[in-house]
Amino acid sequence: MSPEQQLNPVTLMNPMGSIGVDEKQLILTAFGLMLLVVIPVIVMTAVFAWRYRAANVKATYAPKWDYSGKIEFVVWLVPIIIVFILSVLVWRSSHALSPYRPLASTVKPIQVEAVSMDWKWLFIYPQLGIASVNKLVIPTGTPISFRITSDTVMSSFFIPRLGSQIYAMAGMQTRLHLIADQAGIYRGLNAQFSGDGFSGMHFDTVATSNQGFRDWITQVKSGSGVLDDAMFKQLETPSENVQAQYFARVKPDLFGEIIRKFMPGMGHS
């Protein structure tokens, strides 16, 4: 991957996943529909100011004019049409782009459990029994099924070039489905202010080939890191600008424990 890919700034208008592409199209369509009102208003403002200037003696002077059926028809019809089109668009896209809706694919999705912490992101791969901090590695062309929660205050999980922002809240689980169509390194971040270390609470999303993903799994599993209760306590200590960490083994159902400890009458088992 090139340095340009690695350093590419956050941008919504250059998506690298199908969800991001659909959201970009939705933004552009809505923007275009709104311009149908904005552009004529700007043009008419300039035209009217010129036509009815004080120096133009040819302009019609009608001091008692107060109503035009044609003007009223246009003024009301155009917004009604635009609102109707936007309503249909929003209704369809709200269902089609729901973060809880699994992506249609012949490839089996990979499950990732994302946990917001002070001030870092923990990613658990329950199917693989491994975990990482501040680095998310995924294969291209494979749907990623996220379960997202917070071990602290509310945060917002966001990978702009793949699409869809969703909140992470303590004691709750949100869902998100994304896919990367092209290999690259895409910035992920917390889009919700969450304290002193908020500015450094971002991570690299590395989209790689299937073979590259398998090689990464092998590399992580060859390490000695273990994410057990003791290590998780260390991660819970607030820290800023944390470098990537990897864990070859993870305590079973750690994600469930994180959620349950914020529920009344529940705690770490």
Instruction: Give the model's pLDDT for residue 4.
Output: 37
Instruction: Give the model's pLDDT for residue 263.
Output: 84
Instruction: Give the model's pLDDT for residue 170.
Output: 96
Distance CA 115, CA 67 (A): 61
pLDDT at 152 over 90: yes
pLDDT confidence band for 202 (50 / 70 / 90)? very high
What is the CATH architecture assignment of 1-269?
Answer: Sandwich (2.60)
pLDDT confidence band for 265 (50 / 70 / 90)? low
> Do the beta carbons of residue 152 and residue 194 sit within 8 Å?
yes
Instruction: Give the model's pLDDT for residue 37.
Output: 86
Average pLDDT over residues 76-85: 90
Average pLDDT, the chain: 91
Average pLDDT over residues 233-250: 96
Instruction: Give the model's pLDDT for residue 258.
Output: 97
Distance CA 247, CA 242 (A): 15
> Do the beta carbons of residue 150 and residue 169 sit within 8 Å?
yes
Instruction: Give the model's pLDDT for residue 54.
Output: 86
Phi, psi (5° rounding) for residue 63? -65, -20
- Which residue type is seen at 264? P
Instruction: Give the model's pLDDT for residue 6.
Output: 44
* Domain edges within the chain: 1-269
Secondary structure E strands in 67-173? 110-117, 120-125, 130-133, 135-139, 144-150, 155-158, 165-168
State the DSSP code for 140: T
**What pTM did the predictor assign?**
0.83
Average pLDDT over residues 241-265: 93
Any idea which of 26-30, 129-133, 142-146, 210-214 has the lowest mean pLDDT? 26-30
pLDDT at 9 over 80: no
Structure confidence by residue, pLDDT tens digits, 54-69: 888 888 888 888 888 9
11 or 219: which carries more pLDDT confidence? 219
Structure confidence by residue, pLDDT tens digits, 111-142: 999 999 999 999 999 999 999 999 999 999 99
